[in-house]
């Protein structure tokens, strides 16, 4: 059973989640760039070597060709979207918990926490889908050397001009398929680890910084273990030319398995896992610090 130490406040979750999201992007974006480039690199012609042989090779080539700034290509889009997106994510989790409580002091079970986490994944899709679409296009543009978009705003304008709102929100179903189960796993794992790591007789709110970092980092790994296959499909679908996959993710899945095998659904696995721990550790630490600050300045909120 999960222990609740104070009344749930979706409003505080909103603001603290926004701050946690900013922490996540600053720590995790370089490896997100590597992940997307590995997932979207073209299949090599017979006798040719792939563009990137792996995570370290992609990291090295990006640094050599573009410098440190190359690792942060496309970061403006997630930074602009990440504060409201993570705010809404944590708000959705808080609301999901609150809706399942009959009384303010009810202790939620882990399946209930999983359900609350899934609700947060639904909440974030409206912000996440266009942000991911723009980010992925900018990341692969930097890798190919072709300049079609001059930045996130220009990318959004061109997508809207070419295909309207549908062009901006391309990949929404795949974003839902990725984020709903992964968010359930994310929050349930974090709450479970916090309870396990809390010394007997102590409160979860008194957990030390190293233990929060460990719980948050491991929650990120569990999240991505669930999310990687639909994330690969999403990245391919969102960066494909218009009309390439008329039947959506089913066409992407068939093509990937036919040409590259089931293992292709785990492209970028190393980069994702290397990124997942520090980025999500930073996210949850930022969330907990912000939550303590909010509880201090506005205890009744």
d(CA 62, CA 68): 8
Is residue 223 a contact partner of residue 189, using CB atoms and an 8 Å limit?
A: yes
Report how far residue 53's alpha carbon sits from residue 51's, in angstroms, rounded to the nearest whole number.
7
CA dist 69 and 53 (Å) reads: 21
Q: How far lies 260's CA from each of 42, 180, 191, 220, in Å?
A: 11, 27, 37, 27
How does pLDDT run along the chain (301 residues), one tens digit per residue? 445 556 788 999 999 999 999 899 888 888 888 888 887 887 788 888 888 888 889 989 888 988 888 888 877 767 776 788 899 999 999 999 999 998 888 889 999 999 999 999 999 988 888 888 998 898 888 666 678 898 888 999 999 999 999 999 999 999 999 999 999 999 999 999 999 999 888 888 888 999 999 999 999 999 999 999 999 999 899 988 888 898 888 999 999 999 888 888 888 788 788 888 999 999 999 999 999 999 889 887 7
The b-or-e profile of 4-34 (16+ CB within 10 A means b, else e) is: beeebbbebbbbbbbbbbbbbbbbbbbbbbb
Question: What distances in angstroms separate CA 142 from CA 44, 80, 271, one per listed residue?
Answer: 19, 19, 18
Residue 48 phi/psi, 5-degree rounding, is -100, 150
Q: What is the pLDDT of residue 143?
A: 65
Q: Rounded to whole angstroms, how far apart are CA atoms 60 and 51?
A: 12
Question: Angle CA(139)–CA(143)–CA(144) in degrees, nearest 5?
Answer: 120
Enter the pTM of the model. Answer: 0.80
- Between CA 254 and CA 19 the distance in angstroms is 39
Nearest to 91 by CA among 174, 149, 18: 18
For residue 225, the tally of other CB atoms under 10 A from its CB is 17
Q: What confidence score (pLDDT) does residue 2 get?
A: 47
Phi-psi region of 187 (alpha: psi -120 to 50; beta: other; left: phi over 0): alpha
DSSP-derived letter for residue 9 is -
Q: What is the pLDDT of residue 71?
A: 84
- Report the pLDDT value the prediction gives residue 108, as an integer from 0 to 100: 92
Distances 280 to 4, 174, 241 between C-alpha atoms, Å: 22, 22, 32
Neighbours of 62 (CB within 10 A): 22
Task: Report the C-alpha gap between 191 and 247 in whole angstroms.
Answer: 38
Contacts made by residues 262-267, CB under 8 angstroms, sequence distance 24+: 264/232, 265/228, 265/229, 265/232, 265/233, 266/228, 266/229, 266/232, 267/38, 267/39, 267/232
Distance separating alpha carbons of residues 75 and 62, to the nearest angstrom: 15
CA-CA distance, 196 to 207, in Å (whole number)? 11
């Amino acid at each position: 059973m999960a222990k609740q130490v104070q009344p749930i406040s979706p409003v505080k979750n909103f603001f603290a989640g926004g701050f946690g999201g900013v922490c996540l992007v600053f720590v995790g974006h370089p490896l997100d760039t590597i992940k997307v480039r590995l997932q979207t690199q073209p299949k090599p012609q017979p006798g040719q070597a792939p563009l990137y042989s792996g995570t370290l090779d992609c990291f090295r080539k990006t640094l050599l060709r573009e410098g440190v700034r190359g690792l942060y290509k496309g970061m403006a889009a997630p930074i602009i979207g990440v504060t409201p997106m993570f705010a809404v994510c944590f708000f959705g989790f808080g609301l999901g918990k609150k809706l399942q409580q009959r009384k303010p002091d009810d202790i939620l079970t882990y399946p209930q926490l999983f359900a609350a986490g899934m609700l947060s994944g639904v909440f974030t899709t409206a912000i996440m889908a266009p942000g991911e679409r723009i980010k992925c296009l900018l990341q692969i543009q930097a890798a190919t050397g072709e300049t079609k978009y001059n930045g996130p705003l220009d990318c959004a304008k061109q997508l809207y001009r070419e295909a309207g709102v549908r062009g901006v929100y391309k990949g929404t179903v795949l974003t839902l398929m990725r984020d709903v189960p992964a968010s359930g796993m994310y929050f349930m794992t974090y709450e479970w680890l916090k309870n396990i790591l809390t010394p007997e007789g102590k409160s979860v709110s008194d957990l030390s910084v190293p233990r929060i970092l460990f719980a948050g980092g491991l929650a990120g790994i569990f999240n991505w273990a669930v999310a990687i296959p639909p994330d690969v499909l999403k990245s391919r679908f969102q960066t494909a030319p218009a009309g390439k996959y008329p039947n959506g993710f089913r066409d992407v899945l068939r093509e990937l398995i036919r040409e590259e095998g089931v293992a292709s659904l785990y492209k970028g696995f190393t980069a994702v896992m290397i990124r997942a721990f520090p980025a999500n550790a930073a996210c949850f630490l930022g969330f907990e610090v912000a939550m303590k600050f909010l509880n201090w300045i506005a205890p009744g909120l």
